[in-house]
Structure 1
């Protein structure tokens, strides 16, 4: 047990205090954001915006360009999602929870492939040496990008993509020495499963009463 704790804490021994504090803040707001998302609460976006903005800086500092780019995108999409979720007509949300249709699935797949390509180009543009973990990063970037788009449009499938990407990210961040963020994504995985169940139940209830 002690070795496991040391594995997570050791990278922080030589890390600047302000970076640890920033990571802790991002951790708290990131968890809060997913909890709000699970409950279909619009506060998912302001809390998420705080977390992703901080994380952009952290990843840029560590030259993790794929992760940095994804969190920058999250920040932009948080603004769009905030606006989209806030729209109402006759007191009801304009964008209800729904499943993706064939066209949206096709668009999602296109975004997934395009994101991986762009992330790869960003790595090359910054002259980074692309290692095996970076290819995993490129793959998860595609998943996260598409998941965020689906979430902004309240598509149930967003949770499936979050679950897959979160599971992959947990060991990836642990390997990179991001102990708090690795733990955060473990919690994200659990919350994403709960989010899928909650949204599916909400969707089924709406279909029954329609």
Structure 2
């Protein structure tokens, strides 16, 4: 309880705003609402500045990437809407996903070994690298409306929960538990949307 109270008291108003906007991003993304990208842009911009101020350059760089992807995601989804295809959800073949997962795991191990040469990052450094790289990859899948992105997020956020809990970041762990639940909802919502679109298509082309 003391750890939770300490984390809550240490949170600044900017951190609180960024966390709320991050949750809104996931909620709007699950609803296929383009405003998710505005929430992501503002939230990630705040986190970029916060992490830079506390001397976490890699986390700052990751959030700067999220800022760029928020702009790209807005542009990509806007193009889909202009084509009146806002319910179009894509699938990538399982072989594509298996190759991507294998490549990301190898890249995570290689990056961790490289960093470990100068800093003793230990076991959690490998997990940290994996969470970061898979997050970068999966954010791109969201911009392309690939259904499987939610499956990735379920595992990424679950791994992040373990990572943050092991470091005593209980408030952040709680936040990512919410992310896991919202990722499950996102998967359900996108599947329902796709099924509805498939039903409409089959009706239009029925003899």
| TM-score, with structure 1 as normaliser | 0.80
Write out aligned runs for 1:82-101 (5 A). Answer: 82-88=74-80, 91-93=83-85, 96-101=88-93
Cα gap change, 1:34 to 1:173, in 2 (>3 Å): same
2:192 paired with 1:201: yes
Write out aligned runs for 1:60-71 (5 A). Answer: 60-71=52-63
Cα gap change, 1:193 to 1:24, in 2 (>3 Å): same
2:6 paired with 1:10: yes
CA contact (8 A) 2:108 2:126 kept: no
Q: Look up the SS of the partner of 1:57 in the other structure.
A: helix
Match of 1:192 in 2: 183
CA–CA separation in structure 1 for the residues paired with 2:40 and 2:129 = 21
* CA displacement at 1:68 relative to structure 2: 3.3
CA–CA separation in structure 2 for the residues paired with 1:170 and 1:164 = 10
RMSD of equivalent CA atoms: 2.9
Cα gap change, 1:110 to 1:54, in 2 (>3 Å): farther
* CA displacement at 1:73 relative to structure 2: 1.8
2:127 paired with 1:131: no
Structure 1: segments with no counterpart, 5+ residues:
none
Residue of 160, 163, 167 corresponding to 1:176 = 167
CA contact (8 A) 2:51 2:57 kept: yes
Structure 2: segments with no counterpart, 5+ residues:
202-207
* CA displacement at 1:54 relative to structure 2: 1.7
Q: Look up the SS of the partner of 1:87 in the other structure.
A: helix
Which one has a bigger Cα radius of gyration?
A: 2
2:139 paired with 1:148: yes
| TM-score, with structure 2 as normaliser | 0.81
CA contact (8 A) 2:87 2:194 kept: no
Match of 1:51 in 2: 43
Q: Which whole-Å deviations, capped at 9, do the CAs of 1:120-141 have from their partners, x for residues lacking one? A: 488469x543132221111111
Cα gap change, 1:80 to 1:106, in 2 (>3 Å): farther
Match of 1:165 in 2: 156
